[in-house]
Structure 1
Amino acid sequence: MESLWLEYAWALLILIGLEGLLSADNALVLAVIAKHLPENQKRKAINYGIIMAFAFRFAALFAISFIANIWQIQAIGAAYLLYLGLKHIIQARFGKQNENIHKNDKKEASGKGFWPTVGKLALADLAFAIDSILAAVALALGLPDSPLGDFGGMDGGQFIVVLLGGIAGLILIKYAATWFVKLLAKRPALETTAYAIVAWVGVKLAVITLAHEDIGILDPHFPHSTIWTLIFYGVLIGIALIGWFAPSNKR
């Protein structure tokens, strides 16, 4: 029994680290999406974003079996993240780059800019909540059954691990979002980096969707395999490092 709880404790530590990465991504995206707003609206929008992140992730905890089994939910999350990330990257790379992007920023910041921004934050939060819960469930389901019975469609001990990991992620989002707003002012290159990370997380959700038993294009074990995990986090860290060390061009 002692070894069982040690295994659970180790899994929880790993999950907190994993949720930390996803929460940092989520917080960075909140900061980037709200970046164009005036300062008072920016803080308000980010606070709304944090509240929605809390709501969606807690809702996801109690809809684990639904999210894990309905591939359409996963596909919508993947499609939205890919759209959000690639749209910005293509604009920045092939459009009139920063000039066009900032013209759009000014348009969004005026008039009806606030609520459309909150809407974008909600969609991004929902997609990240789906990804977060799927990652947590994938890790927790590898644990042996506990003597705590069943809850939320899974073993009680596994559910507690997912719950505690999710709470840790939410705490990190709360404190990281404000920090990222300040960081973006110093390192503008991180804006495109954030959208590249968004697109890459979208790829991850797409892989999970394609491996769903009702789709069957990929092997169902592939999204949780060691090789894909190494590829995903290797690319994720690579994107973050490139963005961090990229020249901070003033716009």
Structure 2
Amino acid sequence: MDVQLIIPLLSLIALEAVLGIDNVIFISILAGKLPPHQQKKARQYGLILAGVLRLGLLAIIAVIMRLDSTLFTVMGHDFSGKDIVLLLGGLFLLYKSTSEIYHKVEGETIADEKDIKANTFSQVIVQILIMDLVFSIDSIITAIGLVQEIWIMYVAVIVTVILMLFAAETISNFVNRHPSFKMLALSFLLLIGFSLVGEGLGLHIPKGYIYFSMAFSLLVDVLQMKMNKKSGTTLPLDSSVKSKEK
């Protein structure tokens, strides 16, 4: 396989996996409302539904992305259906990433933000389906901003869902131990959001620049993590928050 295809594929899988942690946490919280013997089944159904929704949204957006005919003109710039999707998607990512970063910095948790109530298995599945839809929009827009080939998006979504089914707890524990990775992923969303807005307005930003920026930032974060580990200064996220409150 061409290196130019492997890099975006691996980058998208890694980013989707980290960003998908919130989806897994939501599903776990909702499934926790059920009796123990139904919780695992609800988590599995939730993740499978997430994958199906993402694939369905990809199919719809793939059709829209082919709409290159001009719909209207503003200040000399022609807007097509594709431009509108890119522009609205970019604005959505900017809003979503900014609000998520704010909540992380303020130390708010998902459980604090949502009052989740569910009693029966069907009620839990319905609520999981609604939350999956919200997270799927986030996921698909990120994929559009990061890669151009539709098949790469499909492969990345399928691989990510499989990873979540078998390694959700491991990935979640890693991100909880190293919260800087989640913050880094949210920062990548800001970068992708700006890129999508630029493309929607006719300013094409080469994907190579985005991949290089992401790889460089990730390298710096890994080196910082190793340095902190050697010096023994690494603190869990909740410990740092508690120390600030004191």
TM-score by shorter chain over 0.5: yes
Distance (Å, rounded) in 2 between the aligned partners of 1:102 and 1:243 = 27
Check the 8 A contact 1:189/1:243 in 2, yes or no. Answer: no
Cα pair distance change 1:224/1:56, threshold 3 Å: same
1:165 lines up with 2:165 in the alignment: no
Identity %: 9
Is the CA contact 1:85–1:195 (under 8 Å) kept in the aligned structure 2? no
Stretches of structure 1 lacking an aligned partner (at least 5 in a row): 1-7, 138-161
Cα pair 1:89 1:192 within 8 Å, conserved: no
Contact between 2:21 and 2:168, CA under 8 Å: does it hold in 1? yes
Change (3 A) 1:48 1:242: farther
Q: Normalising by structure 2, what TM-score? A: 0.63
Deviation by residue 1:98-130 (Cα, 9 ceiling, x = unmatched): 5x653345x225467764553333233223223
Other-structure match for 1:48: 49
Matches within 5 A, 1:101-250: 101-105=110-114, 107-110=115-118, 115-137=126-148, 162-178=149-165, 179-185=167-173, 187-189=175-177, 193-194=181-182, 197-212=185-200, 215=201, 220-221=203-204, 223-224=205-206, 226-235=208-217, 238=220, 247-248=235-236
User: Is 1:83–2:95 an aligned residue pair?
Assistant: yes
One-letter amino acid of the counterpart of residue 53, structure 2:
M
- The answer to whether 1:72 aligns with 2:84 is yes
CA deviation profile, 1:55-85 (whole Å, cap 9, x unmatched): 2223333443239953332233233333333
2-structure distance, mates of 1:113, 1:239: 37
User: Which range moved further: 111-120 or 52-61?
Assistant: 111-120
Ranges in structure 2 where 5+ consecutive residues have no aligned partner: 33-38, 69-79, 240-246
Give the RMSD, CA atoms, in angstroms: 3.8
* Amino acid aligned to 2:112: K
Q: Normalization by structure 1: what TM-score?
A: 0.62
The separation in 1 between residues aligned to 2:156 and 2:180, in whole angstroms, is 23
Aligned residues: 210
